[in-house]
Structure 1
Amino acid sequence: MIRIVIVDDHVVVRSGLRSLLDSKHDMCIVGDAADGDEAIRLARELKPDVVLMDLSMPHGKDGMTATRELKALLPETYVLILTMHDDGEYLFRAIHAGASGYILKSAPYEELITAIQSIAQGNAYLYPTATKRLMNEYLEKLRQGEHTGSYASLSDREQEVLVGIAKGYSNKELAEQLMISVKTIETHKSNLMDKLGMRTRPDLVRYAVERGLLSYE
């Protein structure tokens, strides 16, 4: 029996998935959550085999952050991302966060069942066109001379700090915007510079511009 926790901020989605998956003889929904914080709490309590994780949840932790934290706490629990984001960057980040699979909400019901069964056995699962996309983007990153997976290795908060620094905000201004301490900003800055292999603010600005991360009104 595959024990599953469903994580999605929409009640209708959670109810629909529960009805569909509970009808399978080899699957059992042991809990559901509306955000990443609740997902982590439930997973620690219930020790599910698979967590079916949405990415975009406006309240609490998002799916990417929750996946990263959940895998650190429960490495034996597999995470299958179920999302509307058909986007290579999300795919790279989800895999780097520790997800074992990535499938779109538009996928047929049978494909979702296959994906759950596959990762529950310790395998990886990507929706059909994702493998080609993953390979193409990987090769493109190599062609551009980037450190493979470097941007994907940044946490959501580190990405926010990167963009803020590139836009010229001081540590104090960033701390006020993100409602965290200056010391925490400095820690995020140090971590992201280590991950990207950079030493100065100009390096970060140049990197952000080259990746198209800056947008102004």
Structure 2
Amino acid sequence: MSLSSSSPVITVVSVDDHALVRQGIRSLLDAADGIRLVGEGSAGEEIEGLVEQLRPDILLLDLGLPTHADLDQRQPGERYPILDAIRRLAERYPATRILVLSQYDDSGLVRATLDAGVQGYLLKDDALSSHLEGVIRAVHAGDAFFSASVNARLVAEQNAGEEPLLTPRQVEILTALAVDPHLPRSGIAARLGISEHTLTYHLRLIFARLDVTNLTAAVMKAIQLELLPRPLVAPERGAAVTKE
């Protein structure tokens, strides 16, 4: 793997109890420019220690992880409480972005992981898993990323309900991000009176509901759907932002 001196290396930790899956991930990332697999694990108890020690940019995580007691057959079938771990990681290590690679496509579980703090959700049998390099780069750049079937379920469930596509709070968040795109998200969150984690959570839901993967696309689609005003105006500055 040849690394460019002008671009920082994206570091990745992979935790999955299946050796063949870990081997496949290792092979994909070994061939990727500018991405380095720095750690691996196979049991739930290893996740937080690996992140604390290595501080990776990306945590690639399976959801159905066993405990050590399951692996050594002391308590066969025991599963690790993964959602609790994700919540702790999102709070303690916000710089590490969590990308789920799982066999479970239940929409309730997907929403629970989003609420806990993940930035992407890929199914192991999805074609995207063979393009893991690109997905990792997208998530590292700040995009939310979902397998097409997962995203379709989230959107279909939203459309089937009586709630608006975006809640008033989400419209407020998207407007704030659109009118002041150069302000750090921590500054946007402070202005709105919410935590940066809460802002990021809402932004992931906005991306899923609008079926987009980045902020620019979300703003453009929201304007097209007349969810945002046109032109956009930053009230505290009186500056109009017109999206053509």
> What TM-score bracket applies, with the shorter chain setting the length?
0.5 to 0.7
Cα distance in 2 for residues equivalent to 1:44 and 1:132: 34
1:71 maps to: 90
Counting matched residue pairs gives 143
1:123, CA displacement in angstroms? 1.1
1:86 aligns with 2:94: no
Residue 96 of structure 1: CA displacement? 0.7
**Alpha-carbon contact 1:50-1:80 (below 8 Å) kept:** yes
How does the TM-score come out when normalised to structure 2?
0.55
The answer to whether the aligner puts 1:138 opposite 2:158 as a matched pair is yes
Give the whole-Å Cα distance in 1 for the aligned partners of 2:88 and 2:161.
27
Q: 1:62 & 1:118 partners in 2: Cα distance?
A: 27
TM-score where L is the length of structure 1: 0.61
Contact 1:6/1:14 (<8 A) preserved: yes
Residue in structure 2 matching 1:113, options 133, 142, 150? 133
Deviations 1:119-158 (CA, angstroms, capped at 9, x unpaired): 1111110111222211222344556xxxxxxxxxxxxxxx
1:31 lines up with 2:39 in the alignment: yes
The alpha carbon displacement at 1:12 in A equals 2.3
**Match for residue 100 of structure 1 among 98, 119, 127:** 119
Check 1:22–1:52 CA distance in 2 against 1; reply closer, same or farther (3 A cut): same
Unaligned runs of 5+ in 1: 144-217
Indicate yes or no: 2:111 matched with 1:122: no
C-alpha distance in 1 between matches for 2:117 and 2:66: 21
Provide the alpha-carbon RMSD of the alignment: 1.8
How far apart are residue 11 of structure 1 and its match?
2.0
Match of 2:11 among 3, 11, 22: 3
Instruction: Kindly report structure 1 stretches of 4+ aligned residues shifted beyond 3 Å.
Output: 139-143
Identity of counterpart residues, as a percentage? 34
Q: Which residue of the other structure, out of 27, 42, 51, is the alignment partner of 1:43?
A: 51
